[in-house]
């Protein structure tokens, strides 16, 4: 294995696995496998990039650090030459959150300084300019992410946000340097390291900027960022003859389908509205979940009753509705109840013969795949930017799409089911 990725949630892991497997147009990517948690066995020899999915984004920082160091130890044991810590392109964290502590812990373990920190993903509208994160034409704190139920982002200045989380100094490299090319950026990062700066926010406005960052970091032990930061990395290994690449074949998986949505993002709410116009949908009322009057058996029963009709079960609500529920019951209690409900439902669905499963929301996806006890997933074709087909191992493979809340076109759900069946 050449490149190892530690991802702080399951949808983000799928996102960056997709980026690595796809690579740049005309150049190809790396043979990539996504692991669900830290594996307990060696990787197959053919794997060139391994992505470890952790559910560490919203847990206490000390626990996130411990899990990430376990993942690092396994990846180093597989011979990885480079490590990438992947977090959300909207930098989801709190001032006491995990990006800084995990990044610093990995850097310390690898003896690295001047480490890139860049969540930019221009394909889906995330750009970094003068150290500030934009979503489309809006600053992060004006984009709706300030209402995130777990990690509200209230400051777009990534240098300030990250410095609150870090023990060491945080550096910055402006867009003007990035646009000057890989050599200029490499020199700027070396200067940051000489000043003792551990993590360094790097501007990026376009995919070309991300490729420049990749070239500048060809020999870097560690990078951190969103999935876009990996855009130029496969070419480094392919150009040196270290990797042969090659995409995994995917003929599609037929069989019963289900859609589960636990994200409250604007994109997911729009996708739910579009899908529910022509397909059956069951809306989960969190109060009923907490009082025990709606159960996983109810959700699975609804799905099975509408087999073949692309049924959707959704708990998504507006920011105001989510805030009201959290005030009544507490944020952690609501999140745990919904995660548990989706997890139990997923187990019942797969046991009942569901073979195509689409899940919206990072926390929901983590709960679902953890409950299913899956081990490793093969990366298939891309459904929408950042969301690939995932296929489980075993005699009865399951085809999945794990979608970050903010990703996907309005018709994503129907498109995902077609792609999972090989009909895209």
What's the pLDDT at 218?
96
Confidence of residue 20 (pLDDT cuts 50, 70, 90): very high
83 touches 221 (CB < 8 A): yes
pLDDT, tens digit, for every residue of 56-82? 988 999 999 999 999 999 999 999 999
pLDDT digits (tens, 9 = 90+) for 325-336: 888 888 888 888
Q: What is the distance between the alpha carbons of residues 356 and 416, in angstroms, rounded to a whole number?
A: 9
* Alpha helices, H only, 311-422: 319-329, 331-351, 362-372, 412-420
What distances in angstroms separate CA 334 from CA 149, 291, 324, 369, one per listed residue? 10, 11, 11, 19
pLDDT confidence bin for 234, thresholds 50/70/90: very high
Question: Mind listing the pLDDT tens digit for each residue in 370-420?
Answer: 899 888 898 888 999 889 999 998 788 999 999 988 889 999 999 999 999
Domains and CATH numbers, the chain: 3-239 (3.40.50.10840), 257-420 (3.40.980.20)
- Does residue 317 surpass a pLDDT of 80? no
What one-character DSSP code corresponds to residue 217?
T
Cβ atoms 386, 207 nearer than 8 A: no
Q: Where are the alpha helices (DSSP H) in 199-318?
A: 207-216, 233-239, 266-276, 286-291, 296-305
- The 8-class DSSP code of residue 145 comes to G
């Amino acid at each position: 294995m050449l490149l190892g990725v530690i991802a702080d949630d399951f949808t983000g892991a799928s996102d960056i696995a997709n980026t690595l497997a796809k690579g740049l147009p005309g150049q190809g990517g790396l043979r990539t496998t996504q692991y669900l948690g830290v594996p307990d066995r060696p990787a197959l020899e053919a794997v060139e990039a391994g992505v470890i999915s952790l559910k560490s984004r919203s847990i206490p920082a000390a626990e996130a650090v411990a899990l990430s160091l376990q993942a690092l130890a396994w990846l180093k044991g597989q011979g990885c030459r480079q490590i990438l810590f992947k977090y959300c392109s909207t930098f989801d964290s709190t001032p006491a959150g995990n990006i800084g502590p995990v990044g610093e812990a990995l850097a310390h373990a690898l003896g690295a300084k001047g480490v890139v920190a860049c969540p930019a993903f221009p394909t889906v509208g995330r750009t970094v300019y003068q150290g500030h994160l934009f979503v489309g034409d809006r600053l992060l704190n004006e984009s709706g992410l300030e209402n995130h139920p777990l990690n509200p982002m209230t400051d777009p200045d990534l240098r300030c946000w990250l410095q609150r989380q870090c023990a060491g100094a945080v550096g910055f490299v402006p867009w003007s340097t990035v646009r000057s090319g890989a050599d200029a950026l490499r020199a700027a990062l070396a200067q940051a390291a000489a000043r003792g700066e551990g993590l360094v926010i790097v501007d990026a406005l376009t995919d070309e900027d991300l490729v420049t960052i990749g070239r500048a970091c060809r020999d870097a032990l560690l990078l951190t960022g969103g999935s876009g930061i990996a855009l130029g990395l496969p070419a480094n290994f392919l150009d040196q003859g270290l990797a042969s690449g090659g995409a995994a074949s995917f003929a599609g998986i037929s069989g019963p389908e289900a859609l589960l949505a636990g994200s409250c993002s604007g994109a997911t709410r729009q996708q739910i509205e579009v899908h529910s116009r022509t397909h059956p949908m069951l809306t989960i009322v969190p109060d009923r979940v907490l009082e025990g009057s709606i159960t996983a058996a109810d959700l699975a029963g609804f799905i099975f009753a509408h087999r073949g009709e692309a049924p959707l079960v959704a708990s998504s609500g507006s920011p105001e509705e989510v805030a009201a529920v959290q005030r009544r019951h507490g944020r952690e209690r609501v999140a745990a109840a919904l995660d548990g409900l989706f997890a139990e439902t997923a187990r019942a669905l797969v046991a009942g013969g569901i073979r195509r499963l689409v899940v919206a929301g990072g926390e929901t996806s983590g709960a679902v795949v953890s409950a299913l006890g899956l081990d490793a997933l093969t990366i298939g074709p891309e459904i929408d930017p950042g969301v690939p087909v995932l296929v489980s191992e075993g005699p009865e493979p399951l085809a999945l799409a794990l979608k970050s809340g903010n990703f996907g076109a309005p018709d994503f759900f129907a498109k995902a089911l077609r792609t999972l069946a090989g009909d895209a």
